[in-house]
């Protein structure tokens, strides 16, 4: 199948789914927060962002943009499955910002008093990713109008990779597979969506369920198909500043950038949908 068809499939999805303690200060002064500038609000020092794996590329770009705007700032992006990151934060891992691939993991931290006032900044549906050489010869069903069901694309002899049930992309995958009557279809479960994407790119599976943003990140290295059931499991992405953030000024600046017009444009370019 040609790159043209992959792009056509993405186009169909767009139509249907558009959707881091320093020395003490002078007597009487409060000690500076680690990594934060003294005597001003200019972000500087180290900013640590814990972000869902699907945000790796766009958050890296936004972090570099913030570094360009604030030369004294070093942004560190730590990407993994949202549930694993939430667990690390609950165990005291130092971080300033958390961005999750679903609202459940953020609610878990808000309930624990670790994050206040998180804001949803993006949404992300799933697509079926296929190796570029398409070993199973997956084709769109002929003579049928509209977007196909997963059952039209996944056959019994295919090996299929999805995210583990503990992470947001795994929850979404289970929902769409069940809706399509294919709940027993997965052959392997991965820790995060980028691991699913890697298996597809390495031809280790015939197909995998990944986010639309991962299809964009893969560029022309895979084929991808939109499917009908994805509308029932579009994940919402919230971002928030940790209540004990070592560098709250920089954390606020990063969140403000994500929510800004420039941040939203970068997210749209990466395949994310705006919040509703």
- pLDDT, one tens digit per residue, over 139-174 is 887 766 788 999 999 988 999 999 999 999 999 999
Average pLDDT over residues 35-56: 80
pLDDT at 143: 66
Q: How confident is the model at residue 27 (pLDDT cuts 50, 70, 90)?
A: very low
Domain limits, the chain: 45-123+236-270, 126-137+146-232
Average pLDDT of the chain is: 86
3-state class of 190 per DSSP?
Answer: strand
Report whether 189 belongs to an annotated binding site: no
CATH of domain 126-137+146-232: 3.40.190.10
- Please tell me the distance from the alpha carbon of residue 176 to that of residue 182, in angstroms, as a whole number: 8
The CA-based dihedral angle spanning residues 125, 128, 129, 133, taken in that order and rounded to the nearest 10 degrees: -160
Query: Token pair for residue 169?
Result: 């992309």
Report whether 34 belongs to an annotated binding site: no
Instruction: Please report which helix (H) or strand (E) contains residue 161, including its range.
Output: strand 160-163
Report whether 82 belongs to an annotated binding site: yes
* Long-range own/partner contacts, residues 138-147 (CB < 8 A, 24 or more apart): 138/1, 138/206, 138/207, 138/223, 138/225, 139/1, 140/9, 140/225, 146/228, 147/12, 147/16, 147/226, 147/227, 147/228
pLDDT at 36: 44
> Please, how many CA atoms are within 13 Å of residue 163, restricted to the half-sphere of its CB?
32
For the chain, give the percent of residues with pLDDT over 90: 76
266/5: higher pLDDT: 266
Fold of the 45-123+236-270 domain: D-Maltodextrin-Binding Protein; domain 2 (3.40.190)
Same fold, 45-123+236-270 and 126-137+146-232: yes
Q: Kindly report, residue by residue over 234-250, the tens digit of the pLDDT.
A: 999 999 999 999 999 99
Question: Side by side, which strands form the sheet with 126-131?
Answer: 188-190, 160-163, 207-211, 126-131, 222-225
Report whether 237 belongs to an annotated binding site: no
Q: Kindly report, residue by residue over 173-228, the tens digit of the pLDDT.
A: 999 999 999 988 899 999 999 999 999 999 999 999 999 999 999 999 999 999 99
Q: Is it the case that residue 17 has pLDDT exceeding 60? A: no
What is the full DSSP assignment across 87-131? HHHHTT---SEEE-SSHHHHHHHHHTTSEEEEEEEEEE-EEEEEE
Lowest mean pLDDT among 22-36, 126-140, 252-266: 22-36
pTM of the prediction? 0.82
Average pLDDT over residues 25-35: 35
């Amino acid at each position: 199948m040609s790159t043209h068809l992959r792009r056509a499939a993405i186009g169909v999805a767009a139509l249907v789914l558009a959707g881091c303690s320093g020395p003490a200060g002078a007597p009487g002064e409060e000690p500076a927060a680690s990594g934060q500038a003294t005597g001003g609000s200019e972000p500087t020092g180290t900013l640590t962002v814990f972000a869902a794996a699907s945000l790796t590329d766009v958050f890296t770009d936004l972090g570099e943009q913030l570094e360009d705007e604030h030369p004294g700032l070093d942004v560190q992006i730590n990407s993994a499955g949202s549930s694993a990151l939430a667990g690390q934060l609950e165990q005291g891992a130092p971080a300033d910002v958390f961005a999750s691939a679903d609202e459940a993991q953020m609610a878990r931290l808000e309930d624990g008093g670790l994050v206040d006032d998180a804001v949803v900044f993006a949404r992300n549906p799933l697509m079926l990713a296929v190796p570029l050489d398409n070993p199973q010869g997956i084709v769109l069903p002929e003579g049928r109008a509209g977007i196909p069901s997963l059952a039209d694309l996944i056959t019994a002899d295919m090996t299929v990779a999805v995210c583990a049930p503990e992470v947001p992309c795994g929850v979404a995958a289970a929902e769409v597979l069940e809706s399509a009557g294919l709940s027993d279809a997965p052959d392997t479960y991965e820790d995060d969506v980028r691991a699913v994407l890697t298996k597809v790119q390495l031809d280790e599976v015939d197909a995998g369920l990944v986010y639309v943003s991962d299809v964009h990140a893969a560029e022309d290295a895979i084929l991808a198909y939109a499917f009908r059931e994805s509308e029932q499991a579009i994940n919402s992405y919230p971002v928030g500043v940790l209540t004990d953030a070592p560098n709250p000024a920089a954390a606020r600046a990063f969140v403000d950038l994500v929510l800004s017009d420039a941040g939203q444009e970068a997210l749209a370019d990466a395949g994310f949908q705006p919040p509703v």
